[in-house]
Amino acid sequence: MATRPAIYLTWMSIRMWARDRAALFWTFFLPLVIMVIFGLLNFGELGKVDLGIVDLAQNEASARFIDEAGNVEALRVNIGSEQDELAELSDGQRDLVLILPENFGPAVSGEGAAWEPITVRALYHAGRRAESEVGLGILRSGIDEMNFALSGAERLVTLESEAVAARDLGYIDFLMPGVIGMAIMQLGLFSVAFSFVTMKREGVLRRLLATPLNPATLLTAQVITRLIVVILQTLILAGVAVFVFGAEFAGNFFAVLLAAGLGGAVFLALGFAVSGWARTEQQAAPLANIVSLPMMFLSGVFFSRDVLPSILQTVTDYLPLTFLVEAIRGMTVQGDSIIAQWPNFLGMAVWFVIAFVIANRTFRWE
Amino acid sequence: MQIANNHGADGAGEPIIVVDDLRKRYGDVQAVDGVSFEVQKGEVFALLGPNGSGKTTTVEIIEGMRTADSGQARVGGIDVGKDPKAVKHLIGVQLQSSAFFEHLQLQEILKMLGSIYRMKVDPEPLLNTVDLWERRSASFRTLSGGQKQRFAIAAALVNDPAVIFLDEPTTGLDPQARHLMWETIAGWKEEGRTIVLTTHYMEEAEELCDRVAVMDAGKIITLDTPDTLIKELIGRGFQRDHEVRAATLEDVFLDLTGRSLREF
């Protein structure tokens, strides 16, 4: 049996933690449920352009056109009557409706026959500019291609584009790092804030003060326990995202765990700062929420910070959760190394120092 | 349990506790105002006094849990102000309201406390002393008030201390548990341990203590054996309002309900 206080205390605090059902719920169950729900809703599909096609021609040429459109990754093609599709458009179910006229196709039927000039009408949703623009762009270039092919003109200028992110990224790829970051934040802030305030209020810490225990030993045991939990949490969430939802995990696995550990240290230090200030759980809870809630919505956990107004984007650039989520996301999605992600690691390190100084000043045993 | 044979450090004949002119102020209140006393090895010593008289603060300074503004306290020859950790290794402490970690069993708490002293602790004899071995797998929170009190006593013993500090050890206990507590304290004395306690029960101090100190407003106003103090009072012509009877209501209570402990 280990009689070194640090080791034995760590072992006991792991046991305590594993028996704490509320802690297990908040750390493993809740983040997992959030990820599964958002993963199943699959907001990633929203990134596609909903294109409605009204096929008035109903011929070989129109069938080929629809087929080609269906092959475009960014488009989700629906076919329907003019009346239905326009209704869907005004309901916001379509971003764009394309009407292929009855004279779509060669004037005389048959392979290689010449086309008469025709007009294809596209109606777009005025409220969904971004998606409509993307869809219109794709259609324009498609129709240009057709023009070249049909007129046989020589192509003088060719745009050569190269795909950089070759991976097919979905919402789950965005979501996984976000939920991992959120779970680490909640664990760090709440588990420390609550357990230390409880121990302080009930007099557990005072009782330990009557023993020759080195305060640093107790803190070390508590921190190590929670860092182990952070690693477990990251493994479980990433495991479910990758193996159940097929999320991308491009970067180095240990680099991601290192980012998770550093993020865990930042939020544990913030948790100690909260628990130092608060005398009761009733004071700790709102304070921890004030710190965590804005970050949950502004640090790019569930949706990209691109949708925020630019001032808010600048402010949220410096939030600790932003650094953590973006470091993990850079690694899992782009396959970045720690070196490539150095600004985010630096950001976390700076926050750790700030939080540590505050915690050191506010922490009390009684 | 392990019976230590040589309790107390070798202070070359020095009393095991020496308190010299301790002072401690909290804001406007002079909680401890020049307290001095000595406790001999193997003695049972009580600090008596109304609430707020400064006895808990005094005891906590000697235990190394608080620092004095001035004055000195030595336990086993060690200056608490200079080396509180060394003193904490020598002593066992039961606080007025102790709490222990959640989600741990009683036996695990004792083992964990033992590890702080770098000692391997067998929880069975410790829990047997306070009749809690049956509840070894329970958590502290699920204990009744009296059981919590008793567990805190067991926790004070994990490091086989030479000096045991008990802050109101029998407050809230039923008469059966109180008498068991008294027997336990008498047993420690026989083992050669030194006991310093605070209490509000004068019959307890009279029954257990070799000497008592009475504190008021941060000062010790008298210090002697219970017998001497009582004789002095009678010598000054004091008479009780009621005649002294051969038995008390407590004797009646114990006669009716027996002496065995009720909760385990």
How far apart, in whole angstroms, are the C-alpha atoms of residue B152 and residue B1? Answer: 17
Alpha-carbon distance B117 to nearest alpha carbon in chain A (angstroms): 7
For residue A210, what is the nearest residue in chain B, using CA coordinates? B65
Q: Write down the pTM of the prediction.
A: 0.74
Interacting residues of A272 by C-beta distance below 8 A, sequence separation 6+: A192, A196, A219, A355, A359, A363
Other beta carbons within 10 angstroms of residue A85's beta carbon come to 22
Query: CB neighbours of B246 closer than 8 A, spacing ≥ 6?
Result: none
Cα A332 to Cα A311: distance, rounded to the nearest angstrom: 28
Nearest-CA distance B120 → chain A (Å)? 7
pLDDT at B77: 93
Q: What is the pLDDT at residue A63?
A: 85
Q: B98 at the A interface (CB within 8 A)? A: yes
CA nearest B26: which of B57, B50, B71, B72? B57
pLDDT at A112: 64
Task: Report the 10 Å Cβ neighbour count for A362.
Answer: 14
* Domains of chain B by start residue, with CATH: 17-257 (3.40.50.300)
Residue B29, beta-bridge partner list:
B26
ipTM: 0.85
Which of B:192-221 have CB within 8 Å of A? none
Q: Does domain A46-151 have CATH number 3.40.1710.10?
A: yes
B202 Cβ neighbours under 8 A, 6+ residues apart: B48
| A294: nearest Cα among A282, A305, A279 | A305
Q: Is the dihedral of CA B12, B17, B23, B24 positive or negative?
A: positive
Q: Which of A2, A17, A204 sits opposite B100 (nearest CB)?
A: A204
DSSP A191: I
| Cα separation, A101 vs A85, whole angstroms | 15
Q: Which residue has the tokens 């479980």?
A: A236
- What one-letter code names the amino acid at A278? A
CB contact under 8 A, A3 and B119: yes
Check CB contact under 8 Å for B114 and A20: no
Q: Which long-range contacts (CB under 8 A, 24 or more apart) does A346-353 make?
A: A347/A318, A347/A320, A347/A322, A347/A323, A348/A259, A348/A262, A348/A263, A348/A266, A348/A320, A348/A323, A348/A324, A349/A262, A351/A266, A351/A270, A351/A320, A351/A323, A352/A262, A352/A265, A352/A266, A352/A269
pLDDT tens digit at each of 366 positions of chain A: 445 888 888 988 888 888 888 888 888 888 888 888 888 876 654 467 788 888 888 888 888 888 888 887 778 888 888 888 888 888 878 888 888 888 887 776 666 667 778 888 888 877 766 677 777 888 888 888 788 777 777 776 666 655 444 455 678 888 899 999 999 999 999 888 888 888 888 889 889 999 999 888 888 888 899 999 999 999 999 999 999 888 888 888 899 999 999 999 999 999 988 888 888 888 888 988 998 999 988 898 888 887 788 888 888 999 999 999 999 999 998 888 889 999 999 999 999 999 988 888 887 776
CA distance A239 to A262: 20
Kindly give the parts of chain B with pLDDT less than 70.
1-13, 243, 262-264
Nearest residue in A to B152, CA atom: A207
Report CA Rg, chain A: 28
A360 CA to centre of own chain: 33
CA nearest to A9 within chain B: B112
Give B6 to chain A, closest Cα distance, Å.
21
Q: Which residues contact A228 (CB under 8 A, 6 or more apart)?
A: A14
CA of A187, closest CA in chain B: separation in Å? 18
B99 touches chain A (CB under 8 A): yes
Closest by CA to A55, choosing from A105, A94, A92, is: A105
State how far residue B1 is from chain A, nearest Cα, in angstroms: 19
Contact A189, A355 (CB under 8 A): no
Q: What's the rounded Cα separation, in Å, for the pair A346 and A140?
A: 45
Q: Report which of A177, A96, A186 is spatially closest to residue A135, judged by C-alpha positions.
A: A96
Burial class of residue B262, CB neighbours in 10 A (0-12, 13-18, 19+): exposed
Instruction: Specify whether the CB–CB gap between A131 and A49 falls below 8 A.
Output: yes
Measured at the alpha carbon of residue B129, what is the angle toward residues B124 and B134, in degrees to the nearest 5? Answer: 55
Q: Where are the domains of chain A?
A: 46-151, 168-362
**Is the CB of B115 less than 8 angstroms away from the CB of A204?**
no
Cβ pair B108:A19 closer than 8 A? no
Distances A53 to A24, A87, A95, A135, A194 between C-alpha atoms, Å: 50, 13, 11, 12, 57
Angle at Cα B115 formed by Cα B109 and Cα B116, nearest 5°? 95
Q: Which amino acid is at A332?
A: T
Question: How many contacts (CB atoms, under 8 Å) link A and B?
Answer: 73
| Whether B10 contacts chain A with CB within 8 A | no
Whole-angstrom distance, CA of residue A335 vs CA of residue A325? 14
Distance CA B263, CA A271 (A): 40
B155 touches chain A (CB under 8 A): yes
The verdict on a CB contact (< 8 Å) between B116 and A204 is no
With CA atoms as reference, report the closest residue to B136 among B108, B95, B175: B108
Measured over the CA atoms of residue A197, residue A199, residue A203 and residue A206, the dihedral's sign is negative
Identify whether the C-beta of residue B192 lies closer than 8 Å to the C-beta of residue B8. Answer: yes
